[in-house]
Structure 1
Amino acid sequence: MGTRRTYGSYNDGCATAHALDLIGERWTMIVVRELLLGPKRFAHLQQDVQGIGPSVLAQRLQHLESEGIAERRHLPAPADVDVYALTERGLRLEAVNTALATWAADSPGLLWDADMSPDTLVLAMRAHARPRVDRADPTVVALHLVDSRREGAAPVAYTATMTDERTTVVRDAAGPAAPHAVLRATTRALKRVIIGGAALEPSPDLQVEGERGAVDALVRATALHA
C-alpha cells in the first residue's frame, strides 16, 4: 500500500485541509482523544482504543510525535515507565474534539447504545459542562469509572468540581481529600444518565456515597441535555 497523499500535495492551501493532513487519518484523532486528560502507557492506549493494532498505534504515535502534537516521556521511579503525552499544541485539540462531538450529537446514525472509555465519557461531560447555579460554594465529587467494555477493568479516578463560575472534571489518581460525594459507576451506567437522559438510580453498576445532592448537581451540570 502506497503512502497516502496529503491535501497539500494537491496544492490545497486551506488550513482545514492541513489540519486533516495532521489528524484526519483513521485512528489519529481517537488516539489524541485518549490522551487529552493525561499521559498513558502504550499498553493502556491499546486497551482504551479498542480495535487498533499495535503496529498502527505505533505509527499514529510516531506521526503525532513528528508533528509536535504528542511526545514520549519517561516517568521516574517508582513508576519508571515510558508514557505518551500531548504537547501544549496537542492539548488544544480538546476544542476540536468538543466541536466534533457537539456537531455529531444530533446525528441519526450516532450509536447511542455503544460503550465509551472512561476518558471519552468524561470528555463528553466536559463538553457539556455548565456552572452550578444553585450554590456558590465549590462542590466536589470523586468519580470512579470502570470501563464497561473490558471485564475486570480497574476503576479510573476523576475529580469533578462545581462552582457558580464553571464545572471541571479532571483525571486525578490521588483523588480529592474530602469530597462531598463519591460516585462509582460503569461507563455504560453513567452514559445512560449523562448522555441518555436516564434518571440517576443507585444499582450495582452505579453507587453513590455521601451527599446525593452533590451527585445530582454533577449530573445537572454535565448532562447532554440540562
Structure 2
Amino acid sequence: MPKKQTYADLGDACATAHAMDVIGDRWSMVIARELLLGPRRFADLASAVVGVTPAVLTSRLKALRDSGVVEQAQLDDLGRTRVYRLTEWGQGLEDVMRSLGHWAQHSPGFPVDGSMTPDGVVVAMRTMAPYATMAEWGDGPVRLAMELHDERRPAAGVRRYRLQWDEDRFELTEGADDEAATTVSGDSSAWADVVFAGSPIGSMAVAGDQRAVERVAAAYSAIA
C-alpha cells in the first residue's frame, strides 16, 4: 500500500494543515481526549475508545508517538506497568478541544443521542466549563466528588474525580476526594445529560448536599 501523502508532502506549509496531518485521522483526537487526565495502559484505551480495533489503536498510537503528541512511560509500581501519556506539547490539545467543543455545540448535525465514557464527560466538563464564579449560582465554593461508571462497559469499573470551584479557581482532576462534602455517582452518560442537557438530577445518586450538584448543573446550563 502506498504511503499516504500528508499536506506537507503536497507542499502545503499552513500550520492548520500540519495540525490535521498530526491529529486529523479518525480516533486520534479521541485517544488524546482519553489521555488528558493522565497516563493510560493500552488495555484502558482499547476499552475507552469505543469501536476502535486493537490494530487501528496500535497504528494511531504509533503515529501520535512519531509526531510527538504521545509518549510511552513506565509507572513506578511493582509491575512496572507500561502506559501511554501526552507529551508536554500534546497536553496543549486541551485548548484545541475547548475551542472545537464550543464550535461543535452549534453544529446543525450535533448528535442528540449517544453515550460518553467517564473520562470523556469529565474532559468535556473541563473544556466546556463556563469559568464563572460559583457566587453566581449560590453562596460559597463547591467541592464535589464524582464516581462514574460506563454502563456499556461494566468491567471497566468506577472512575473517581474531584471538582473544586470557587471565586477564583476551577479545578477538575482525576482521583478520589475523601473530604468532599458531596458525592455524585452513577452512569457517565446520565451525568452528561444532567450537566449538558438539563436532565433531572434524580438519575444520579447524591450523598451530601444536593444543592452543590444543582449549582454545578446550573452553571453548565448557562453555556450558550
What TM-score does the superposition give when structure 2 sets the normalisation length? Answer: 0.91
2:94 pairs with 1:94:
yes
Structure 1: 5+ residue runs without aligned partners? Answer: none
Q: How does 1:133-144 map to 2 (within 5 A)?
A: 133-134=135-136, 137-144=140-147
Tell me which protein shows more helix as a share of its residues. Answer: 2
Q: What is aligned with 1:209?
A: 207
2:164 pairs with 1:161:
yes
Residues 23 and 29, structure 2, Cα contact 8 Å, conserved in 1: yes
Task: State the superposition RMSD in angstroms.
Answer: 1.8
SS of equivalent residue, structure 2 residue 84 = strand
Residues 144 and 164, structure 2, Cα contact 8 Å, conserved in 1: yes
2:98 & 2:150 partners in 1: Cα distance? 21
Which of 143, 150, 158 is 1:147 aligned to?
Answer: 150
Q: Structure 1 10/224 Cα, relative in aligned 2: closer, same or farther at 3 Å?
A: farther
Residues 134 and 165, structure 2, Cα contact 8 Å, conserved in 1: yes
Q: What is aligned with 1:39?
A: 39
1:179 & 1:71 partners in 2: Cα distance? 33
Report the CA distance between 1:79 and its aligned residue.
4.9
Residues 132 and 166, structure 1, Cα contact 8 Å, conserved in 2: no
1:176 & 1:223 partners in 2: Cα distance? 25
Residues 117 and 189, structure 2, Cα contact 8 Å, conserved in 1: no
Structure 2: 5+ residue runs without aligned partners? Answer: none
2:23 pairs with 1:23:
yes
